[in-house]
């Protein structure tokens, strides 16, 4: 604040002396210029972002994302397929590579319209930070580039550990010793979203698997029951929207929630975090297509098994996982 005030006063004085613009006009413009320069031009989204750990623990976020208290509009809870294996994976992530340390890649499904479950894992709304602190404080989340271009929302995401969803950025994160959270289905899965349907776009998404092999990172399957119960969607103008997605990498879901509004329907969101799948590290030049296919199939089968194992407990006994 002090820097903005001093800079604003100095620039306003200079321009006022030159009779270019009124001082109050310059004073209003300076904070905006300052924000653009120091927020957008540092390119932190292509590195390790600007994580703010205390912000992830702030209870005020519960009102934005949904909390586990019974009074919440969106109730959220986390179910662990193998809690002890996850804790062992977390502890292993604290070790340097020379001592057998390894990272984890959390592959989350489904994308849904908004991906509320992503927020549950970024924060302590359902106790994830309290139970697995370094899985939150020592991690980065890949998000679409366009979301990091929105003023204000950009800061919110980056404070929660989000970075650009590019291959180079993902490698930087893993090379730095941090865990990685991804939504492999991306924009394609977002457009596949249909009310109360369980759809994942995974058959052709193998980049995250190759990353895991290259860095010896464990793969952790994550599925959120209730993510697709929040909004209705329509296929209106779907060909045009798919064309837009193909050329601009932007998904435009057409949706409505409570009473036709953008407010999500009241839902219980149950995020199931699976057991880590160990992946042997192989240098990039020695990774074969067969290795990627084998590991991808192993992950896909683990996701299906986890889904079938927990669907009844989560309130979806007749649910069928559709894989595209």
Q: What does R_g of the chain's alpha carbons equal in angstroms? A: 22
pTM: 0.87
**DSSP secondary structure letters along 45-81:** GGTT----HHHHH-GGGHHHH--SSTT-SEEEEEEES
Give residue 273's pLDDT: 97
For the stretch 155-190, pLDDT in tens is: 889 999 999 999 999 999 999 999 999 999 999 999
Beta-carbon contacts of 60 under 8 Å, excluding residues fewer than 6 positions away, are none
Stretch (H or E) spanning 17: helix 2-17
First to last CA, the chain: 50
Q: What is the mean pLDDT of each run of 10 residues along the chain (324 residues)?
A: 51 55 59 61 85 82 58 80 93 76 92 90 87 91 88 87 93 93 94 96 96 96 96 92 85 91 90 96 95 98 97 95 97
Give residue 231's pLDDT: 95
Residue whose tokens read 């321009």: 15
Ranges of H-type helices in 193-227: 207-215
For the stretch 42-78, pLDDT in tens is: 788 898 988 988 888 887 776 655 554 555 677 888 9
């Amino acid at each position: 604040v002090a820097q903005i005030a001093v800079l604003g006063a100095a620039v306003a004085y200079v321009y006022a002396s030159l009779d270019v613009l009124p001082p109050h006009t310059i004073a209003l413009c300076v904070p905006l210029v300052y924000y653009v320069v120091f927020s957008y031009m540092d390119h932190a989204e292509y590195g390790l972002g600007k994580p703010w750990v205390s912000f992830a623990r702030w209870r005020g976020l519960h009102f934005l994302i949904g909390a586990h208290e019974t009074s919440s509009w969106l109730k959220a809870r986390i179910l662990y397929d193998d809690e002890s294996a996850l804790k062992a994976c977390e502890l292993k992530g604290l070790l340097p590579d020379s001592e057998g340390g390894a990272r984890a890649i959390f592959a989350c499904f489904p994308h849904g319209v908004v991906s509320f479950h992503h927020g549950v894992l970024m924060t302590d709304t359902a106790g994830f930070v309290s139970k697995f602190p370094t899985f939150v404080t020592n991690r980065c989340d890949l998000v679409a580039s366009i979301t990091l271009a929105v003023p204000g929302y950009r800061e919110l995401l980056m404070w929660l550990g989000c970075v650009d969803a590019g291959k180079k950025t993902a490698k930087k994160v893993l090379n730095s010793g941090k865990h990685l959270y991804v939504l492999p289905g991306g924009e394609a899965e977002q457009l596949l979203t249909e009310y109360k349907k369980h759809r994942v776009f995974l058959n052709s998404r193998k980049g995250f698997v190759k990353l895991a092999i290259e860095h010896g990172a464990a793969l952790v399957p994550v599925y959120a029951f209730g993510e697709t119960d929040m909004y209705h969607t329509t296929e209106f103008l779907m060909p045009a929207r798919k064309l837009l997605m193909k050329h601009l990498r932007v998904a435009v879901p057409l949706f409505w929630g409570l009473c036709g509004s953008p407010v999500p329907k009241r839902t219980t969101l149950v995020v199931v975090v699976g057991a880590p799948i160990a992946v042997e590290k192989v240098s990039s030049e020695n990774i074969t297509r067969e290795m990627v296919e084998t590991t991808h199939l192993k992950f896909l089968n683990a996701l299906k098994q986890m889904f079938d194992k927990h669907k009844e407990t989560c309130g979806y006994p007749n649910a069928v996982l559709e894989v595209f």
